[in-house]
Amino acid sequence: MLFLFWALVSLVLFAPGLKVAPRLVLLAAVLYGLNNFLVVAPTWWTRQFGLHGNWLGKLLAISLSLAVVYRLHWVNPQASGLQRPQPNSWRLVGLVALVATLVQLLGGYLVRQQVYPPGGEILLYQLTMPGLAEELFERGVLLGLLNRVFPRTIPFFGTRTSWGGLAGIILFVLSHGFSFAHPATLLPTAAFPLGRIVDKLLFGTLFLWVRERSGSAWAAAGTHNLTNFCLYLGQLLP
């Protein structure tokens, strides 16, 4: 059910491209559903080992992205952003990423009295897994496929993006609001507090901007990991 839910949700968002390239749109929707299934499916099993981070789920998602690009060749590395950032993008992208990490560090510090301090495993997990898994797929593989359907003609804070990029932001917000207790659960539970919506909307926009401005999903993944890490690091400050 988890797979079907996310495949259908993404298909609705990608529907404007069905007349242009139905096979690519359907492939993108199936891959989105599969990616979400791979992320969630191992969570129950891995918790039996006392792990707090979803290491296996994220590794499976990373493997899917790399397989689509390098094994199946459904999208090439350049189109999926699996390349070095453009040389002229380092200064601006680096500055914006630095500001975002400092904001997250401050945010973590301000709520440090309200949360349990994170352990070393969580810090390592946040520094590596979420950004790689989410950005290599959403701002990498998925955007690479959808850019073949939707042109990059939408102005986007000094760069350009496509409807595929904007749909990815919507999915980023939705995926942090709907949750399945188990992969076989029939329907998800929904939790969309305003603070979470604003947070995910802002950071989804940031990660897409980094990807479009730098041309690199690796840059988006690095920004994602650093902002996550600094949020938790701030919770450890005295």
Q: What is the DSSP string of 44-60?
A: HHHHTTT-SS-HHHHHH
Asked whether the beta carbons of 170 and 13 are under 8 A apart, the reply is: yes
Asked whether the beta carbons of 51 and 124 are under 8 A apart, the reply is: no
What is the percent of the chain where pLDDT is above 70?
97
CA–CA distance, 67 with 48 (Å, rounded to integer): 28
CA–CA distance, 158 with 108 (Å, rounded to integer): 30
CA–CA distance, 227 with 237 (Å, rounded to integer): 16
Query: What is the pTM (predicted TM-score) of this model?
Result: 0.95
The residue type found at 224 is: H
Q: Which residue has the tokens 């601006």?
A: 92
Task: List the beta strands (DSSP E) in the chain.
Answer: 154-156, 159-161, 178-179, 189-190
Q: Tens of pLDDT along 26-67? A: 999 999 999 999 998 877 665 556 678 899 999 999 999 999
The alpha carbon dihedral of 102, 104, 107, 112 has a sign of negative
pLDDT of residue 185: 78
Contacts of 43 by beta carbon, 8 Å cutoff, 6+ apart: 54, 57
Band (168; pLDDT cuts 50, 70, 90): very high
Q: Tens of pLDDT along 96-131? A: 999 999 999 999 999 999 999 999 999 999 999 999
CA–CA distance, 102 with 114 (Å, rounded to integer): 20
pLDDT of residue 48: 55
C-alpha angle 18/23/29, rounded to 5°? 75
Closest-CA residue to 92 (of 218, 224, 226, 212): 212
